[in-house]
């Protein structure tokens, strides 16, 4: 089965993609991971991606598409995949369709859109804390330290990353809503889009996905 997972930051895409991958024995292809490995392996496209990432720019569509195309040429995608983080734009989605048609003689089966209200996303994302000394991650609601504000491992004062502050989170969510709308409409028009309520526990959301895709 060929799946795409869409959803805002904080919706739990990576976790659900991992579960789908393990239970269905298909690879979890995250664009972040394949971009990083192309950069590490110093491939031609990887070098191009690195230049943009170092400048803090978005990696251009053609580079992301090229790296994804190379990843989709591997043998392990013969029975399916779950894509996470790609496509991000309608142009990338159109490229994915043609890569699948030309190189794999296939097409997507379903696009799962994890739907989580903004207030819940803000609660999830602003609760993250990290230990600046040992790097351990916490969450004030889901994975709280034993003593408020202190690392269980080393006792350091926990910090909130700049990216997890409410104003930054709100900004990221707005950017996501605006940029994802055309993509969601594109898949809806193709009849591939399935909305899944992403509010419950990891297990509940996973069950809802499995129920819907069968």
Query: Applying CB under 5 A, does 212 fall inside the site for Zn ion?
Result: no
Sort 52 into a burial class: Cβ within 10 Å, 0-12 / 13-18 / 19+.
middle
CA distance 83 to 1: 11
Phi and psi, residue 196, nearest 5°: -120, 135
Q: Is 91 a catalytic residue?
A: no
What counts of helices (H) and strands (E) characterise the chain? Answer: 8, 7
Kind of pairing, strands 137-139 and 128-130?
antiparallel
Residue 47's contacts (CB-CB under 8 Å, 6 or more residues apart) are 39
Of 58, 74, 90, 134, the one binding Zn ion (CB under 5 A) is 134
Catalytic residue among 24, 91, 172, 199: 172
Query: Applying CB under 5 A, does 151 fall inside the site for Zn ion?
Result: yes
Least distance (Å) from Zn ion to the CB of residue 153? 4
Least distance (Å) from Zn ion to the CB of residue 145? 9
Query: Applying CB under 5 A, does 158 fall inside the site for Zn ion?
Result: no
Q: Which is nearer to Zn ion, 124 or 129 (CB)?
A: 129
CA 148 and chain centroid, separation: 30
Which span sits near Zn ion by CB under 5 A: 62-70, 111-119, 154-162, 172-180? 154-162
Which span sits near Zn ion by CB under 5 A: 2-10, 24-32, 90-98, 130-138? 130-138
Q: Which is nearer to Zn ion, 134 or 175 (CB)?
A: 134
Least distance (Å) from Zn ion to the CB of residue 10? 23
Of the CA atoms within 13 Å of residue 185, those in its CB half-sphere come to 9
CA angle 23, 205, 2 (to 5 degrees): 45
Q: Is 13 a catalytic residue?
A: yes
Of 47, 153, 185, 207, the one binding Zn ion (CB under 5 A) is 153
Peptide bond into 131 cis (omega under 30): no
Least distance (Å) from Zn ion to the CB of residue 177? 35
Q: Is 172 a catalytic residue?
A: yes
Least distance (Å) from Zn ion to the CB of residue 142? 18
Contact residues for Zn ion, defined by CB under 5 A? 131, 133-134, 151, 153-154, 156
Q: Which residues are catalytic?
A: 13, 88, 128, 161, 172
């Amino acid at each position: 089965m060929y799946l795409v997972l869409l959803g805002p930051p904080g919706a739990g895409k990576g976790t659900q993609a991992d579960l789908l991958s393990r239970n269905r024995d298909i690879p979890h292809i995250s664009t972040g991971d394949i971009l990083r490995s192309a950069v590490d392996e110093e491939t031609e496209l990887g070098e191009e991606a690195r230049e943009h990432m170092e400048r803090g720019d978005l990696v251009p569509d053609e580079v992301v598409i090229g790296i994804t195309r190379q990843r989709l040429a591997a043998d392990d995608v013969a029975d399916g995949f779950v894509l996470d983080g790609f496509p991000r734009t309608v142009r990338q989605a159109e490229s994915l369709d043609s890569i699948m048609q030309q190189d794999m003689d296939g097409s997507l089966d379903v696009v799962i859109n994890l739907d989580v209200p903004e207030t819940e996303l803000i609660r999830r994302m602003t609760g993250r804390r990290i230990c600046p000394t040992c790097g351990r991650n916490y969450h004030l609601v889901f994975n709280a330290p034993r003593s408020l504000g202190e690392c269980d491992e080393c006792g350091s004062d926990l910090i909130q990353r700049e990216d997890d502050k409410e104003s930054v989170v709100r900004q990221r969510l707005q950017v996501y809503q605006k940029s994802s709308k055309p993509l969601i409409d594109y898949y809806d028009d193709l009849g591939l889009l399935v909305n899944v309520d992403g509010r419950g526990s990891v297990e509940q959301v996973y069950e809802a996905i499995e129920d819907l895709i069968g």
